Chain A
Amino acid sequence: MVRLITHNLLACHAKGCTTNNFPLEFKDVQVVLRESEFNPEFLRGFMPKIEWPALLGAARELGDTSLPDQLPEMLDDDFLKALHHVLLEIHVEEGIMICPNCQHNYPILNGIPNMLLAEHEIA
């Protein structure tokens, strides 16, 4: 399952592709929503690892506009619930992730992203 929490951690790793290689852009995606257990403590602990503009962009690409432009200073329950939904409940099942720099295509099949590179593409 490609959830936005994972998407926020994946960068293009093709040979020589070291700048502007994140976040990967979605194309032709099919999305499924699956409920998961709300855990505010996890979200607070995970916050420092999130790249906010990348998450915001990805959520909006997938049609979810519940997140604010700027990361709020107070992480209240309403915000954390919206964050929970965006990070953990939106699953991209099919589609492509494209590197904004080298245009490498990483397909998603049955919810599994194929991040493998051919031998000559490996950094």
Chain B
Amino acid sequence: MIPTPDLSHLRPADYEHVYEPAEDTFILLDALEQDEELLKSIQPRVALEIGSGSGCASSFLGSITGPSSVLYLCTDINTHACSCTQATGRQNKIPLDSIHTSLSHPFLSRLRHSVDIILFNPPYVPTHQEEAFTAQTERDIGGAWAGGADGMQVTERFFPQVAELLSPRGRFYLVAVAQNDVPAIQRRMRAQYGLDSEIVLKRRAGREHLSVVRFQR
């Protein structure tokens, strides 16, 4: 049993601007824990989380794969989230390198086919397209969930980057909900980028039917 990261240093004021870990976070943690042996066996050197928010998922990953064995890169467009990620890393003694940026843009030229673990719990909630766009521009808490039509607006933008970044032995974990049309995502990733996938965990939380999908070359 891997303990859930200590988030006691985060305050209600932090959660006004940063997404507080919830069921969608926990299903990702559970999927990573279930894959513990696999994650260790690929001997990861570089991990990258997109939209790291509180830093909970990367800290958890760090307790699986070890604080000194992997470089943990965490990006977020929300500056408050970047600070929380950094603080959560320190609190849990996992060095998380927090970078304020959109998706993985500044790493694309140097990390081609070099990232062994990619985590993305995206803004997956279907909303009006305009709402998702505004949320990303405002770079605040709304950007953590507003996903535009079918909840895929931000996720879709990241897929080509996954294909660029993923190492030959790498794994990409994506959180999705039923409205995102998971089978269609899997078909498209296979057809466009040659990435195979499987659903590693599925769970209903309130109205949301959550899945964690794992992709590989």
Which A residues are within 8 Å of any B CB, using their own CB? 1-3, 5-6, 8-13, 21-22, 36-39, 41-42, 45-46, 49, 51, 88, 110-117, 119, 122-123
Contact of B110 among A3, A11, A38 (CB under 8 A): A11
A37–B101 CB distance below 8 A: no
Task: Tell me if A6 and B110 are in contact (CB < 8 A).
Answer: no
Q: Are B100 and A116 in contact (CB under 8 A)?
A: yes
**When A112-B98, A115-B100 are in contact, do A10 and B107 touch as well, CB less than 8 Å?**
yes
Contacts of B178 in A (CB 8 A): none
A110 pairs with B83, CB closer than 8 A: yes
Asked if residues B108 and A13 are in contact (CB atoms below 8 Å), the reply is yes
| Bound Cα distance from A39 to B45, whole angstroms | 12
Q: B residues within 8 A CB of A46? A: 45-46, 71
A1 touching B98 in the complex, CB below 8 Å, given contacts A41-B69, A46-B45:
yes
Task: List residues of B (81-120) whose CB comes within 8 Å of A's CBs.
Answer: 82-83, 86, 95, 97-102, 105-111, 114
User: Which of B70, B110, B139 neighbours the largest number of chain A CB atoms within 10 Å of its CB?
Assistant: B110
Return chain B residues, CB-CB under 8 Å to A114: 79, 100-101
Once the chains bind, are A3 and B109 in contact (CB under 8 Å)? no
> Nearest B residue to A107 by beta-carbon distance?
B100
How distant is the Cα of A111 from the Cα of B89 in the complex, in angstroms?
13
Identify the B interface with A (CB < 8 A).
43, 45-46, 67-71, 73, 77, 79, 82-83, 86, 95, 97-102, 105-111, 114, 137, 139
Most interface-central of B77, B97, B98, B109 (chain A CB within 10 A): B97
**Which of chain A's residues have a CB closer than 8 A to the CB of B68?**
36-39, 42
- Having A3-B97, A9-B107, one finds 15 other A-B pairs with CB under 8 Å, namely A1-B86, A1-B97, A8-B110, A10-B107, A11-B106, A11-B108, A11-B109, A12-B106, A46-B45, A49-B46, A111-B98, A112-B79, A113-B99, A115-B105, A116-B102
Cα separation A51 to B99 with both chains bound (whole Å): 20
Task: List, sorted by A's number, 12 A–B pairs whose CB atoms are closer than 8 Å.
Answer: A9-B107, A10-B106, A11-B108, A11-B110, A12-B106, A22-B110, A36-B68, A88-B95, A113-B100, A115-B101, A116-B77, A116-B139
Bound CA–CA A119/B69 (angstroms): 36
A1-B95, A112-B79, A112-B99 are known contacts. Are A49 and B108 too (CB-CB below 8 A)? no
Q: Please determine whether B99 and A6 come into contact, CB atoms closer than 8 angstroms.
A: yes
Please, which residues of chain B bring their CB within 8 A of the CB of A12? Answer: 106
CB proximity of A46 to chain B, nearest CB, Å:
5
**CA–CA, A2 to B99, complex, Å?**
8
Which of B67, B70, B77, B98 has the largest number of chain A CB atoms within 10 A? Answer: B98
A116 to B143, CA, bound (A): 15
Given the complex, which residues of B lie within 8 Å of A3, measured CB to CB? 97
Instruction: Judge whether A42 and B45 touch: CB under 8 Å.
Output: yes
| Cβ–Cβ < 8 Å partners of B102 in chain A | 116-117, 122
In contact, B43 and A45 (Cβ under 8 angstroms): yes
- Known A-B contacts A42-B45, A115-B101; A5 and B71 likewise in contact (beta carbons under 8 Å): yes
Interfacial chain B residues near A6, Cβ < 8 Å: 71, 73, 97, 99
